């Protein structure tokens, strides 16, 4: 059997504890490689651990099998006396605060949804072993596509008829000069 480096299977900044192949998926237990964590409230680093808990995160498939990450996350005491947060959870690079998918998988899901839409993208995602539904794809599209434009200050509207009492048209110009 050919060995695979575990570092290519997990996001950066995480250490692999164990890899278990179940019948249906590969479970990788990981923990943070950092000794301290930064408080999201005040930004001060802390090394005092309050507790630990497990987070389940779906990751990219490997070898045609779904991969699940089990993150051993830690809660820390905040060392700053004036900080309103007494206890905070550590943040992981490449994985959102409450995310169930790392950003690299989220980007693939977003591009699948943009390219194919709901049901066709869900069918392809199922064949790729990504494990997302058509509703999840559509939610990802809504969350991931935000317009970068400023709201318009002036809107111009023009109506006309191509043929009297039969066909009408309305035009909304993109920009108008004042």
Q: What is the pLDDT of residues 44-91, one digit of tens each?
A: 999 999 999 998 888 888 878 888 888 888 999 998 889 888 999 988
| pTM for this model (two decimals) | 0.64
Q: Tell me which residue of 52, 50, 48 sits closest to 32, measured CA to CA.
A: 52
**Which has more confidence, 92 or 75?**
75
List, in sequence order, every residue forming a beta bridge with 53; answer none if it has no partner: 73
In the chain, pLDDT over 70 holds for what percent of residues? 88
What is the total count of domains within the chain? 2
Same domain, 134 and 74: no
Give the helix/strand (H/E) hosting 105: helix 103-116
Instruction: Confirm if 103 and 94 have CB atoms less than 8 A apart.
Output: yes
DSSP output for 115-143: HH-HHHHHHHHHHTT----HHHHHHHHHH
Mean pLDDT confidence for 140-145: 80
Q: Is residue 14 part of a domain?
A: yes
Instruction: Give the domain extent around 68.
Output: 8-93
Q: Is residue 134 part of a domain?
A: yes
Q: Which residues of 144-154 are buried (b: 16+ CB within 10 A; e: fewer)?
A: eeeeeeeeeee
């Amino acid at each position: 059997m050919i060995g695979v480096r575990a570092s290519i299977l997990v996001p950066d900044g995480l250490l692999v504890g164990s890899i278990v192949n179940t019948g249906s998926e590969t479970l990788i237990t990981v923990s943070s490689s950092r000794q301290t964590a930064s408080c999201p409230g005040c930004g001060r680093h802390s090394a005092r651990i309050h507790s630990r808990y497990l987070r389940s995160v779906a990751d990219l498939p490997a070898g045609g099998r779904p991969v699940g990450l089990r993150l051993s996350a830690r809660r820390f005491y905040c060392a700053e006396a004036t900080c309103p947060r007494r206890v905070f959870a550590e943040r992981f690079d490449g994985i959102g605060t409450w995310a169930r998918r790392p950003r690299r998988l989220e980007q693939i899901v977003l591009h699948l949804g943009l390219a194919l839409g709901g049901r066709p993208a869900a069918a392809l995602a199922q064949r790729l072993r990504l494990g997302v539904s058509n509703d999840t794809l559509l939610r990802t599209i809504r969350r991931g596509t935000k317009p970068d434009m400023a709201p318009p200050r002036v809107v111009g509207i023009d109506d006309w008829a191509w043929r009297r009492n039969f066909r009408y048209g309305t035009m909304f110009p993109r920009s108008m000069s004042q």
